[in-house]
A and B are shown apart, each in its own frame.
Chain A
Amino acid sequence: KNEVEQSPQNLTAQEGEFITINCSYSVGISALHWLQQHPGGGIVSLFMLSSGKKKHGRLIATINIQEKHSSLHITASHPRDSAVYICAVSNTDKLIFGTGTRLQVFP
């Protein structure tokens, strides 16, 4: 079992839908990261958080330290949001990655 689990593995949505991607982890962490990987391969850091909630545009990330769970929400989804979303946790001095959630948003 991976130390970082994401669900769902694949997600399709219609443009405009509200989307939630979940991440659960089983190790102690100092921070949790949400990353976005587009088909070309490059990865962009969306959020780094250690408590509560962060918002950037249509993206919202929340974390519950007690439950060892984080969610990434996308409001008013758009086809350009289609990408792989990766959850990673900072454990001691290393990052542990989930396998990613592949999101496709159709017009």
Chain B
Amino acid sequence: ETGVTQTPRHLVMGMTNKKSLKCEQHLGHNAMYWYKQSAKKPLELMFVYSLEERVENNSVPSRFSPECPNSSHLFLHLHTLQPEDSALYLCASSFRTGGGELFFGEGSRLTVL
């Protein structure tokens, strides 16, 4: 138990669906992250939020839309995804941005049909 909770753990969706991934942390951290993990590839940073402001967007397609309503919650809204978007999506948090220790959630495994 790392203190970072992700839901759902598994999601199957069609290319025309709209769904959302949720991440929650009550560690008092100010930074939250979305990572994508595809088979045999390193973790890819998608988005970084610091104090609810997006500070980094690593050229992620607009079909992925993040939302950070407060410092404890982070969402990833999914719309018209492609099969190649199937992956494990990991949320993480840290006290601050800048390379400190990360606390990861269990991940949401997404399958796009």
Min CB gap B32→A, angstroms: 14
Q: Which of B56, B100, B105 has the most CB of A within 10 A?
A: B100
The verdict on A107 contacting chain B, using a C-beta distance below 8 Å, is no
In the complex, A56 Cα to B90 Cα: how many Å? 25
The verdict on A41 contacting chain B, using a C-beta distance below 8 Å, is yes
Asked whether A42 and B106 contact (CB < 8 A) given A2-B42, A4-B42, A98-B42, the answer is: yes
Chain A interface category by residue count: 20 to 34
In the complex, A44 Cα to B100 Cα: how many Å? 14
In the complex, A100 Cα to B97 Cα: how many Å? 23
The verdict on B109 contacting chain A, using a C-beta distance below 8 Å, is yes
In the complex, A35 Cα to B42 Cα: how many Å? 12
Residues of B bordering A, CB below 8 Å: 2, 9, 37, 40-43, 45, 56, 88, 90, 92, 97-107, 109
Question: What 1/0 mask marks residues of chain A from 12 to 36 whose CB sits below 8 Å from any chain B CB?
Answer: 0000000000000000001101010
Min CB gap B27→A, angstroms: 12
Q: Which residues of the partner chain B approach A93 to less than 8 Å between Cβ atoms?
A: 97-99
Min CB gap B59→A, angstroms: 14
